[in-house]
Amino acid sequence: MPVDTSKRGRDVSSAVETSLPTAPPALVTEPVSASRRALLVGGLVAAGGAAVAASRAQSQATPDPMAGHAMPGGAVDPYSAHDSGVAHGNMTMVGQVDHARNGFDPTAMLTDWETGRTEVLPDGRTLRTFEVDAIDMEIEIAPGVFFPAWTFNGRVPGPALRAKEGERLRIIFRNLGSHPHSMHFHGIHSARMDGVQGAGLIDPGEEFVYEFDARPFGCHLYHCHALPLKRHMHKGMYGLFVVDPDPARHPEFAAVAASRVLGSPENAEWQELAMVMNGFDTNFDGENEVYAVNTVGQAYMNAPIRIDKSRPVRIYLMNATEFDPINSFHLHGNFFDYYDTGSQLTPTLRTVDVIMQCQAQRGILEFSFADHEDGLYMFHAHQAEFTELGWMGFFDVREAGA
């Protein structure tokens, strides 16, 4: 076999780089740690030189990573483009995430808007109240891979808060976690309500109420602003904060504005999806191991997002990826209009198929599959690395009810 000897200069050592996650101070749910108790005993017994350790270790009830996964047809030809029945070939994660154990389902999260409860103030304005708890929680971010997350309301990303321009907002925030946390809103508010040190950054067990007006309209976000910021953000403390425009305040674009008001007849025409691009540094080395939209890697490959082709699609997209400066969104077989930050009623970019967002940048994508053939249309980050590490999905485009 011809061997290119010029390549010999490369590192050929079989040394294994090891990096271990640092210990989280406390975990609320611990699928992994159930067997940690056995570790200490196992270690002690092994030190005694007894065979008890082996049988003990084997009896540990860890979930079978291969469960539910079968390789297609025994021997596979990795070089064949037709060998595998699935559209993503062999480039896929093995197994399925248990969404029920996580307590949140990526498919449900797409349309799960948190609207809180409303009451009318004496001056006629609407007061909208949200309740948000910070909770430590271990979540499964890829099949069989568990991440000690810090969450808002037990989900990553946190609840997608949705209000209407001009409303008075009241967010009752309780810290049930193990570290100080806050909610820092990207919006217009006073310094007292900013979610930084001395302005709503609270210790475990404490409560704080943020109050401000919902403005400006647009697709915004909130996140924990406790320090160190990187750690608090990439552990999962971020979420969408969408302020719908008030049509009465924008008479020249009243129809456009009305279509964005959740619950309006005009809005019912649209299929709205909440998407947060995120990543997880599972070994805490400052690089993400898993990329996703709405937390679970390849979730929308395994369960494509059903799109009724007769209705237009609007995506509220936010980039919460830590460590990588930018993330991107690419749609296959179609183009879209993009409203950066969603704070205008005319598109920032028209007819594009890739947009990029830096950290905390967000925007609204609008497109239609009305004239398309039925089929699976892919969407993913166009950084191929992110794509292949989990950030990819499918739109399953069909007629309604088909």
Known binding-site residues equal 181, 186, 223-224, 232, 237, 382
Q: How many beta carbons lie within 10 A of that of residue 159, not counting itself?
A: 25
- Contact flags string 250-289 toward other proteins, x per CB under 8 A: ------------------------------x-xx-x---x
Q: Given the rule CB under 8 A, which of 3-11, 109-117, 179-187, 329-337 is the region that contacts other proteins?
A: 3-11
Residue of 104, 146, 173, 222 that binds other proteins (CB under 8 A): 146
**340 sits near other proteins (criterion: CB under 8 A):** no
114 binds other proteins (CB under 8 A): no
Report the site for other proteins in 84-113 (rule: CB under 8 A).
Answer: 90-95
Give CA–CA dist 6/27, Å, rounded. Answer: 51
Ranges within 286-325 binding other proteins (CB under 8 A):
289, 297-298
Task: Count interface residues toward other proteins (CB under 8 A).
Answer: 81
Give the Å distances, CA to CA, from 283 to 24, 136, 295, 364: 12, 18, 16, 32
Q: How many residues does the chain have?
A: 402
> What string of DSSP letters covers 160-185?
EEEEETT-EEEEEEEE-SSS-B--EE
Whether cis (ω within 30° of 0) applies to the bond prior to 143 is: no
Query: What is the rounded CA–CA span in Å between residue 194 and residue 192?
Result: 6
Annotated binding site for Cu cation: 181, 186, 223-224, 232, 237, 382
CA nearest 295: which of 121, 152, 117?
Answer: 152
Q: Which of 3, 100, 120, 402 binds other proteins (CB under 8 A)?
A: 3
Pattern of binders to other proteins over 51-70, x per CB under 8 A? -xxx-xxx-x-xxxxx--x-
Smaller CB separation from other proteins, 167 or 289: 289
Q: Which amino acid appears at position 229 of this protein?
A: L
**Coil, strand or helix at 191:** helix
Q: What's the rounded Cα separation, in Å, for the pair 301 and 298?
A: 5
> Judged by CB under 8 A, does residue 204 bind other proteins?
no
CA torsion through residues 324, 283, 108, 104, sign: negative
CB-CB contact of 322 with 288 (8 Å) = yes
Shortest separation between residue 69's beta carbon and other proteins, angstroms: 8
Closer residue to other proteins (CB): 66 or 248: 66
Region binding other proteins by CB under 8 A among candidate stretches 2-10, 189-197, 325-333, 370-378 = 2-10
Interface region with other proteins, contact rule CB under 8 A, candidates 40-48, 155-163, 241-249, 340-348: 40-48
Nearer to other proteins, 6 or 190 (CB): 6
**Residue 402 found at the interface with other proteins (CB under 8 A):** no
* Region from 102-110, 139-147, 207-215, 393-401 binding other proteins, contact rule CB under 8 A: 139-147
Which residues inside 10-39 make contact with other proteins, applying CB under 8 A?
Answer: 10-21, 23-27, 32-33, 35-39
Query: Which residue in 104, 130, 147, 336 binds other proteins (CB under 8 A)?
Result: 147
Under 8 Å CB-to-CB from 173, ≥6 apart: which residues?
132, 133, 134, 182, 183, 200, 202, 207, 208, 209, 210
For residues 118 and 126, the answer to whether their CB atoms sit within 8 Å is yes
The least CB distance from residue 290 to other proteins, in Å, is 8
